[in-house]
């Protein structure tokens, strides 16, 4: 199999505010991507095929357009786009999202007829051409499980991982508490759960609280998870973080820095022992078993 392609995070669209060209124009492919007609790569391919017109005239590669120019595409381009698939995979642990690395297989190797979820409501059938250009729109760490989106459609990729994307991603995160980052605060922390007071005494980085973590985790640290942390020298956007049960947190993020949740947790003395993505936008992982996949249905959208 050829190396798995990867969608790169798209830059913020031009033609808006400070991003607009000084001349009031922008490249045609960027304008088409901004209008969510296609990706820039697709736009270039369509222009080469003669499938794109600007104000009724055939477009040329690199052409500059204004916001008022009328852009139309041939039905052949629309038909090609309709054949492109988006696949929802329940990624198990041990698989990498993109290209193979360190001897670990890429998640795309799980996309085959045998692992197609029997409960797929789309009624689409698998064909080998659906693997061409199929790439992960975002990543999920090798030691994480849950919803991974792979798509041939640049519009979907841009919606999920574009610079201007604020798509919600929801995770269930099982944690243990070490208190290593805030030993003094952790030693004094106390909480009441189920009618019983729980006191967390001396903790070192080799000790962990693995049950009833909610009872000993300081409320102030939970607030820091929601808003107040930085990664790579930049403040993080506000996040929704709440207890799902005494050992598991629910995170809802609108950004996706590398190993973000694990690094956030480390800053407040938590150790992630299990992480599962269960939602991207309006699309839920649902009941699909680990290692199986289904198509994004024609009536579904993120």
User: Which string of b and e fits 54-89 if b means at least 16 CB within 10 Å?
Assistant: beeeebeeebbbeeeeebebeeebeebbeebbbbbb
Query: Which architecture does CATH list for 22-81?
Result: Roll (3.10)
How do the domains of the chain map onto residue ranges? 22-81, 169-280
Q: What is the DSSP string of 43-58?
A: HHHHHHHT-EEETTEE
**H helical segments located in the chain:** 28-34, 40-49, 75-82, 154-161, 183-188, 213-216, 219-226, 260-267
Report the top-level CATH class of 169-280: alpha beta
Number of alpha carbons in the 13 Å side-chain half-sphere of residue 27: 12
Continuous segment of H or E residues that includes residue 22: none
Continuous segment of H or E residues that includes residue 107: none
* Contact residues for 101 (Cβ-Cβ < 8 A; gap 6+): none
What is the full per-residue pLDDT of the chain (302 aa) written as tens digits? 444 455 544 444 444 433 445 568 999 998 988 887 877 878 888 898 898 999 999 999 999 999 999 999 888 777 766 678 999 999 999 999 988 777 889 999 999 999 999 999 998 899 998 998 899 998 899 999 999 999 998 888 888 987 778 899 999 999 999 987 643 333 333 333 333 333 333 344 457 888 999 999 999 999 999 999 999 999 999 999 999 999 999 999 999 898 999 999 999 999 999 999 999 999 999 999 999 999 999 889 99
φ, ψ dihedrals at 149, nearest 5°: -100, 130
Burial of 282 (0-12, 13-18, 19+ CB in 10 A): exposed
């Amino acid at each position: 199999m050829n190396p798995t392609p990867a969608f790169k995070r798209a830059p913020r669209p031009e033609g808006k505010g400070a991003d607009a060209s000084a001349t009031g124009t922008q490249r045609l492919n960027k304008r088409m991507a901004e209008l969510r007609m296609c990706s820039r790569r697709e736009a270039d391919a369509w222009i080469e095929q003669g499938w794109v017109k600007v104000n009724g005239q055939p477009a040329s590669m690199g052409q500059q357009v204004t916001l008022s120019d009328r852009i139309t595409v041939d039905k052949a381009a629309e038909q090609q786009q309709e054949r492109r698939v988006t696949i929802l995979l329940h990624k198990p642990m041990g698989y990498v999202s993109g290209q193979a690395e360190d001897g670990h297989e890429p998640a795309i190797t799980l996309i085959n007829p045998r692992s197609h979820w029997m409960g797929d409501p789309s009624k689409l059938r698998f064909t080998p051409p659906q693997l061409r250009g199929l790439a992960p729109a975002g990543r999920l760490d090798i030691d994480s499980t849950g919803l991974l989106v792979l798509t041939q459609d640049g519009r979907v990729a841009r919606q999920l991982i574009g610079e201007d994307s604020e798509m919600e991603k929801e995770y269930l995160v099982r944690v243990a508490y070490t208190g290593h980052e805030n030993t003094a605060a952790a030693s004094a922390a106390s909480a009441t759960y189920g009618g019983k007071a729980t006191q967390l005494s001396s903790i070192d980085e080799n000790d962990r609280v693995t049950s009833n973590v909610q009872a000993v985790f300081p409320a102030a640290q939970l607030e820091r998870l929601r808003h107040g942390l930085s990664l790579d020298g930049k403040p993080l956007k506000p996040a929704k973080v709440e207890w799902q049960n005494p050992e598991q947190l629910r995170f809802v993020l609108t950004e996706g820095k590398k190993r973000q949740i694990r690094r956030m947790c480390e800053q407040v003395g938590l150790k992630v022992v299990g992480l599962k993505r269960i939602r991207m936008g309006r699309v839920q992982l649902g009941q699909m078993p680990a290692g199986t996949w289904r198509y994004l249905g024609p009536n579904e959208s993120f």
